[in-house]
A and B are shown apart, each in its own frame.
Chain A
Amino acid sequence: MSANSSAPGDPAHVRLKPTVIVTIYAAAFLVLHPLAAAWGQLSIYSIWYPIAGVRFALLWRFGPKLSAPFAAADLLAHLVWGDFPARPLQAATFAASIVLPPLAYGLAIATLKALRRRAGGKPSEDAVALAVGMAFAPALASISSLPWAFFDGRALAVTTLLEQLGAVLVFLVGDVLGVLLIAPPLLWLFGLRDPGREDPFQRVSPAKLAEACAVVALAALAAWISQNNGLGLRLEPMLLATAWVGLRLGAATAWIVIAGVSAYVLFLLPANTEQSVRIALHMLTASLAVEGYVVGSFSDAHERHLQEIARKDRLLMHAERLKTLRAMSVAIIHELAQPLSVLAIEAKTLREISRAPTIDQQELKAVAHLIERKSANLADLARRLRGFGERGVAERAPIDLQALLQDAVAIVRPEAKAANVTVRLRDSSEARIEGAAVELQQAVVNLLRNAVAAAPGEEVMVASRRNGSVATIQIDNPVRNSAESPNGMGIGLIIAKTIVEAHGGQLQQTEAHGGVRYSIRLPIHCEPHAQ
């Protein structure tokens, strides 16, 4: 397999040959495995095992197939260190206990990825699968170590079955902490140059950050109070705080809290802390890490889903606007033909004036004025229709309500004229609202078209009012019978409702003076002028 056969930018095979990856892993193993012995006072297994994180990250990123060479590397390292027992049975048992965990990691990751593929879910759910894998792989590895632990030559120190199981639990805690502390930053580093990479802290805003800090500080205070009241160091409040941070700010921020708690538990516990207390704290930290990261990832996936839905909504709205434009095109063409006729006639006038022996300045001025007015009208219509046909943008901006209504009425006017309906815009109050202008315009246009279609030959009234912090747009349709929807205006109404509600407003339908009144209520963004 040659490295240059992979396409540039293919995220899964970023210019690294498998031999290089295995070498990196082996080097990390040689350094980190002995280091873990510092947390291995109680048992044959360490209570923090960082190489598990490196292993997990590499296997997740570059494929679980590498687990076999990784296992071989582990074996080789132990051979170099000369750890192997002399007797063959014990040597075999020892080898199995070394080889099986990396293979179990590979199996766990391969299983999860296969499940993901079969489920055919959205890519945004990959993060959730990753978070689950960070608990699942250590669990599988610790189970795989279970039978071999009984045959282990070093097991002389351990006598009972229960103690053996306890040792496996320590294995699990050590691996979980190792994976959750090391793998996420490593995977982030690997993904730095991926195309379309998302900022893991994109959900962090100053307000939310302050909230997270407050929650963590409160949890720390609770822990401190309990410690000073003879309850010992309690991490339960921190468990809840981590979940909160994960839920509100996502997995990356939750990881920072996890890392902080873990750093305290791993490095800063008082030297005289009892082993049992130490293990209990590690277990709680491992639980906190898994919980915080899974909750954070799940929340991230949820957030991405919401964004995806919003994006698709925008596409749908855009499609509906184009459909509306198409439906209005006959009336619009009529509206364009009128001023164009005037322009053609006035051009002829100018030609004739230029040929006349004396030029009537007054007439010339009048013609120029008419041409200016007509071309300005045409330009206005073109600008409004173009704006209406444009794609919506995600960013919300302050909108002048009056201008919005004027535009909407101008867009509907040709069709209203064809149906002999007068659309009257009553002098509206000045108010600024916030949102996607083109979509709110679409909501108003849909309601206006509804009214025009229901009441040929009548008058449709549009007005806006300001009531404290709420702006109200009223569309009065003189005819109650709007149930007849000749060109699918029912959908237009649903879309108007969706748009208004997405802007934190309400759309209400009431009967008034024998007709129908649609009221759009929207929160006012800010004062037009400082008053």
Chain B
Amino acid sequence: MPSETETVYVVDDDVDLADSLARLFARHGMRSKAFVTPSAFTAAYQPSGAICVVTDVMLGAVHGFDIARTLASIDPAAAVVFMTAWPVTADAVDAIRRHGGVDYLEKPIDVPRLLVSVEEGLQWSARRRRSALRLGALSGRERQVLHLLADGKSSKVIAAELNLSPKTIEDHRASIRAKTGACSLQELISLLR
């Protein structure tokens, strides 16, 4: 969708590096803002459009993972790319698996890889934003049914689990398809990711 803006938030306690990164992203056609402290970042954050946050892992007393955790509660549709000057394998795994990071980059920064990762993050964020929009119209019950479908359960099993009739479940499924515009079960499930 052309109307969607792409914003990259940069958080690094080194002013020069943060500014440099912000200018790099700006030159590549993204809106970009640099922050030196996590608090300034959260204060200025606006959850709209495709968003990728590029943050250092060690920001003085605050850990980059804390930012990711805060961000997940504010805006689940934002992608995160971590940077660190002191890479640790355990951190790298956590960054991706537990904090949903797109990438975990070592400093000095490999610029082409950073650009690829940020691009990937923005695409993911845009997808998430659209999905959220489409899923937003669903009722609570419909969302529940969708999650159970995503778990690979049939209408019959879901009906038994929710103590409803299979017919009601089929109605919900039709309603979900209508609201999200998804044609297949596969497409439906992909909206949840």
Which A residues from 261 to 302 make CB contacts under 8 A with B? none
Whole-angstrom distance between the Cβ of B16 and the nearest chain A Cβ = 5
Contact between B23 and A330, CB atoms less than 8 A apart: no
User: Which among A342, A349, A417, A457 is the interface contact of B16 at CB below 8 angstroms?
Assistant: A342
Given pairs A341-B107, A348-B24, 17 additional interface contacts (CB within 8 A): A333-B85, A334-B86, A334-B107, A337-B107, A337-B108, A340-B108, A341-B20, A342-B14, A342-B20, A344-B110, A345-B24, A349-B20, A352-B27, A370-B16, A417-B60, A418-B58, A457-B61
List the 9 closest pairs (A to B, CB-CB), nearest first. A340-B108, A337-B107, A337-B85, A334-B85, A341-B109, A345-B20, A420-B60, A338-B14, A341-B108
**What band does the interface of chain A fall in when counting residues whose beta carbon is under 8 Å from B?**
20 to 34
**What band does the interface of chain B fall in when counting residues whose beta carbon is under 8 Å from A?**
20 to 34
Q: Is the C-beta of B162 less than 8 angstroms from some C-beta in chain A?
A: no
Which B residues from 151 to 187 make CB contacts under 8 A with A? none
* Distance, CA A157 to CA B115, complexed state (A): 116
Chain A residue numbers with a CB within 8 Å of B60 are 417, 420
Q: Is the C-beta of B93 less than 8 angstroms from some C-beta in chain A?
A: no
Known: A342-B20, A348-B24, A352-B27. A420 touches B61 (CB 8 A): yes
Contact between B20 and A330, CB atoms less than 8 A apart: no
Contact between A339 and B86, CB atoms less than 8 A apart: no
* Distance, CA A111 to CA B159, complexed state (A): 110
Residues of B with Cβ closer than 8 Å to A? 14, 16-17, 20-21, 23-24, 27, 58, 60-61, 83, 85-86, 106-111
Q: Is the C-beta of A374 less than 8 angstroms from some C-beta in chain B?
A: yes
Chain A residue numbers with a CB within 8 Å of B17 are 338-339, 341-342, 345
Whole-angstrom distance between the Cβ of B7 and the nearest chain A Cβ = 19
Q: Is the C-beta of A346 less than 8 angstroms from some C-beta in chain B?
A: yes
* Distance, CA A417 to CA B17, complexed state (A): 16
Known: A334-B85, A341-B109, A420-B61. A374 touches B27 (CB 8 A): no
Interface of A (DSSP majority class)? helix
User: Which among A340, A348, A417, A457 is the interface contact of B107 at CB below 8 angstroms?
Assistant: A340
28 A-B pairs in the complex with CB atoms less than 8 angstroms apart: A330-B86, A333-B86, A334-B58, A334-B86, A334-B107, A337-B85, A338-B14, A338-B17, A338-B107, A339-B16, A339-B17, A340-B107, A341-B17, A341-B83, A341-B108, A342-B20, A344-B108, A344-B109, A348-B24, A348-B111, A349-B20, A349-B23, A352-B27, A370-B20, A373-B16, A374-B16, A420-B60, A457-B61
* Distance, CA A417 to CA B14, complexed state (A): 11
Whole-angstrom distance between the Cβ of A337 and the nearest chain B Cβ = 4
* Distance, CA A90 to CA B24, complexed state (A): 113
- Binary flags per residue of A439-474, CB closer than 8 Å to B gives 1, else 0: 000000000000000000100000000000000000
* Distance, CA A374 to CA B16, complexed state (A): 9
Whole-angstrom distance between the Cβ of A288 and the nearest chain B Cβ = 72
Known: A333-B85, A338-B14. A344 touches B111 (CB 8 A): yes
Contact between B107 and A349, CB atoms less than 8 A apart: no
Chain B residue numbers with a CB within 8 Å of A418 are 58
Chain B residue numbers with a CB within 8 Å of A344 are 108-111
* Distance, CA A352 to CA B115, complexed state (A): 14
* Distance, CA A346 to CA B20, complexed state (A): 7
Whole-angstrom distance between the Cβ of B104 and the nearest chain A Cβ = 14
Which A residues from 375 to 406 make CB contacts under 8 A with B? none
Which A residues from 294 to 321 make CB contacts under 8 A with B? none
- Binary flags per residue of A340-363, CB closer than 8 Å to B gives 1, else 0: 111111101100100000000000
Most A C-beta atoms less than 10 A away, residue of B21, B110, B111: B111
Whole-angstrom distance between the Cβ of A318 and the nearest chain B Cβ = 27
Known: A348-B111, A374-B16. A338 touches B85 (CB 8 A): yes
* Distance, CA A417 to CA B60, complexed state (A): 7
* Distance, CA A333 to CA B58, complexed state (A): 13
Contact between B107 and A345, CB atoms less than 8 A apart: no
* Distance, CA A116 to CA B134, complexed state (A): 97
Chain A residue numbers with a CB within 8 Å of B83 are 341
Chain B residue numbers with a CB within 8 Å of A340 are 107-108
* Distance, CA A349 to CA B111, complexed state (A): 10
Whole-angstrom distance between the Cβ of A19 and the nearest chain B Cβ = 74
Chain A residue numbers with a CB within 8 Å of B16 are 338-339, 342, 370, 373-374
Chain B residue numbers with a CB within 8 Å of A349 are 20, 23-24, 27
User: Which among B21, B58, B85, B106 is the interface contact of A345 at CB below 8 angstroms?
Assistant: B21
* Distance, CA A362 to CA B17, complexed state (A): 19
* Distance, CA A420 to CA B14, complexed state (A): 13
* Distance, CA A342 to CA B107, complexed state (A): 10
Whole-angstrom distance between the Cβ of A365 and the nearest chain B Cβ = 14
Whole-angstrom distance between the Cβ of B108 and the nearest chain A Cβ = 4
Chain B residue numbers with a CB within 8 Å of A457 are 61
Chain B residue numbers with a CB within 8 Å of A352 are 27
Chain B residue numbers with a CB within 8 Å of A341 are 17, 20, 83, 107-109
Chain A residue numbers with a CB within 8 Å of B61 are 420, 457
Closest Cβ neighbor of B112 among chain A residues? A348
Contact between B86 and A345, CB atoms less than 8 A apart: no
Chain A residue numbers with a CB within 8 Å of B23 are 345, 349
* Distance, CA A334 to CA B14, complexed state (A): 11
* Distance, CA A143 to CA B97, complexed state (A): 95
* Distance, CA A370 to CA B21, complexed state (A): 13
Whole-angstrom distance between the Cβ of A95 and the nearest chain B Cβ = 88
Whole-angstrom distance between the Cβ of A116 and the nearest chain B Cβ = 57
* Distance, CA A373 to CA B14, complexed state (A): 14
Whole-angstrom distance between the Cβ of B76 and the nearest chain A Cβ = 29
Whole-angstrom distance between the Cβ of B89 and the nearest chain A Cβ = 16
Which A residues from 161 to 212 make CB contacts under 8 A with B? none
* Distance, CA A344 to CA B112, complexed state (A): 10
* Distance, CA A343 to CA B110, complexed state (A): 11
Most B C-beta atoms less than 10 A away, residue of A352, A373, A420: A420
Whole-angstrom distance between the Cβ of B123 and the nearest chain A Cβ = 21
* Distance, CA A417 to CA B61, complexed state (A): 10
* Distance, CA A525 to CA B27, complexed state (A): 56
* Distance, CA A344 to CA B105, complexed state (A): 14
Chain A residue numbers with a CB within 8 Å of B21 are 345
Whole-angstrom distance between the Cβ of A272 and the nearest chain B Cβ = 94
* Distance, CA A340 to CA B109, complexed state (A): 8
Closest Cβ neighbor of A347 among chain B residues? B111
Whole-angstrom distance between the Cβ of A440 and the nearest chain B Cβ = 30
Chain A residue numbers with a CB within 8 Å of B20 are 341-342, 345-346, 349, 370
Whole-angstrom distance between the Cβ of A340 and the nearest chain B Cβ = 4
